[in-house]
Amino acid sequence: MPYEELSKLFYKDGSPDRYRVNSEKARERLSAESTFRSGIVFNEDELFLAMPRELSVIIERVLRRERKASAAFKALPPIAQGAFTRSLIIDEVVCSNGIEGVRSTRRQVSDVLDEVKHGDSADGLKSKRFKEFAKLYLGLSEKTSVMPHSPEDIRGIYDLLMAGEDLDGNTPDGRLFRKDPVDIIDGRGRTAHSGVNPERRIIEMVESMLSLQENEEVPQICSAVMAHYVFEAVHPFYDGNGRTGRYLLALALSDPLSVSTALSLSRVIAENKESYYQAFKTVQHPMNHGELTFFVMRMLEYVLEAQANNIERLELRRGQMEGARSAARLAVGSDEVNEKGGDLLFMFAQVQLFGWTPEVLLTDAANYLSLSPQMARKHLKTLEEKGLIETLSQRPLKFQLSARGRGLMGLLEGE
């Protein structure tokens, strides 16, 4: 018999004592030995996670697919790994902003990443907006980010994520969070949920969320998703809760799962925005009594989709990359280019296949060849004279494969 929402069982029950039956079933689920209780109460109901067969199967599928996704990523050479990870960061920032109606372009985020890495932006200006946001995700990808352990840590992350944003009077006005009540309005202009109030209670709930996230008695991928629900339901800030919550979720999932999986969730959520918001409403339905089971299952389904997307992309492009590797060797063997030139062509091919854009910075090419920028520039100039690469910009100096170079490497237009 399939495991169903308590609210659905309630509406199926036409008996006069269905309210009593609903309450009894909720108590049974809450008190079951396999249930993970959070100790966190909303509207007199303690949030809890039951462990039905369906959830056990989803967790197992996530773990199995994660092994496959991780193996596909690790099979790539470092340049391809870096290009792929960078493209995920760009998508994650853009999609997380887009869910909240904040417009950002992939070019903006790409330029910000260049600025963070090399200290120079494409337009020569220091762009503050999205810079700290991108740096946080870059830190996550490099495993240098630290999990928050206190409400103060959460506020610090929020300040970085929202740096450069015009909050239009929505700056947190309490000691750490907001002072006044807030209502979350749905697409029809109705109040879908009210955030926790006053600030003292917000701080208590954030502390409870962090304790839940650190609870080693709860499966880590489940506690990360449960904590995500708590953060969004508490709604500690006037603005920016969604972006902050999704970053915290990615950070929490980057420990039990791979970074590439953790960096792929916002795109899937953006493509399933209505069902994402509906998952919150399911928990908040009074007849469901704070059960998080279906919320967790929905979020893990998004994880499965993110993993599948990454595996498909990596496996497809890996075959093309091996063809490019062979083409570079042939070019060296036929004296079309020297060995350094062949290395560069293979680098360019990897970036084209796995990156968001096919562009390669002079500094990155120099690092790849373990040469000074001046020496690397000589090898790049030779490739340019042969018509195999072309200059994209002067500041910063960027190159990409030309049409002839793509042909030589076996890459079709647009790949």
| Pairing outcome for strands 36-42 and 389-394 | unpaired
On whether 240 is known to bind a ligand per the annotation, the reply is yes
310, 313, 319, 320 alpha-carbon torsion, rounded to 10°? -140
- CA–CA dist 287, 84 (Å, integer): 44
- CA–CA dist 38, 390 (Å, integer): 57
Is 235 catalytic? The answer is: yes
- Three-state helix/strand/coil letters over 89-144: HHHHHHHHHHHCCCCCCHHHHHHHHHHHHHCCCCCCCCCCCCHHHHHHHHHHHCCC
H helices of 181-238, in order, are: 199-213, 220-234
On whether 190 is known to bind a ligand per the annotation, the reply is no
Task: Render 257-318 in DSSP notation, one character per residue.
Answer: S-HHHHTTHHHHHHHTHHHHHHHHHHHHSGGGTTB-HHHHHHHHHHHHHHHHHHHHHHHHHH
On whether 310 is known to bind a ligand per the annotation, the reply is no
- CA–CA dist 364, 382 (Å, integer): 17
In the three-class reduction of DSSP (H, G, I as helix; E, B as strand; rest coil), residue 393 is classed as strand
Catalytic residue among 228, 235, 289, 379: 235
On whether 241 is known to bind a ligand per the annotation, the reply is yes
Determine how many CB atoms are found less than 10 A away from the CB of residue 376: 21
On whether 22 is known to bind a ligand per the annotation, the reply is no
- CA–CA dist 154, 232 (Å, integer): 13
| Selection from 83, 56, 86, 73 nearest residue 300 by Cα | 56
On whether 243 is known to bind a ligand per the annotation, the reply is yes
- CA–CA dist 301, 322 (Å, integer): 32
Q: Which residues are known binding-site members for ATP?
A: 239-246
Catalytic residues: 235
Q: Which residues are known binding-site members?
A: 239-246
